[in-house]
Amino acid sequence: MKLLLLFLVLTLLIGCSPANAEFSTMSQQEAYELITSDSDVIVLDVRSEAEFLSGHIEGAILLSVQEIESHAESILLDHNAVILVICQSGNRSRTAAQALVDLGFTNVYDIGGIISWPGEISN
């Protein structure tokens, strides 16, 4: 019985380890509604600076996908904050979202590409 209990506890711990952590996805409509109702949400744009300057979500933070591992923890200070990750078409946002989770961020959502964003885009 003790061995079974130990096995169950170890299974739970391994299953909850950061190595197995994954990001979640959120529809852009849900993201839009969340952004407009909660000022604590972080929108992380992982495109290049040129892409960002051509149009972005108001208040978004620019951190290119290539800079996630080296700069995310100095820019995104709260590992438990809700972070919505967006790129141009959805490929880089998936990569960046997983990198953030691998760094220990816990509330990361891939919201896809800005090309289908339902809200306003700022320049």
DSSP 51-79: HHHT-B-TTPEE--GGGHHHHHHHH---T
The residue type at 86: I
Is 96 in contact with 44 (CB distance < 8 Å)? yes
Q: Which of 87, 96, 111, 114 is catalytic?
A: 87
Is position 16 annotated as part of the catalytic site? no
| Catalytic site positions | 87
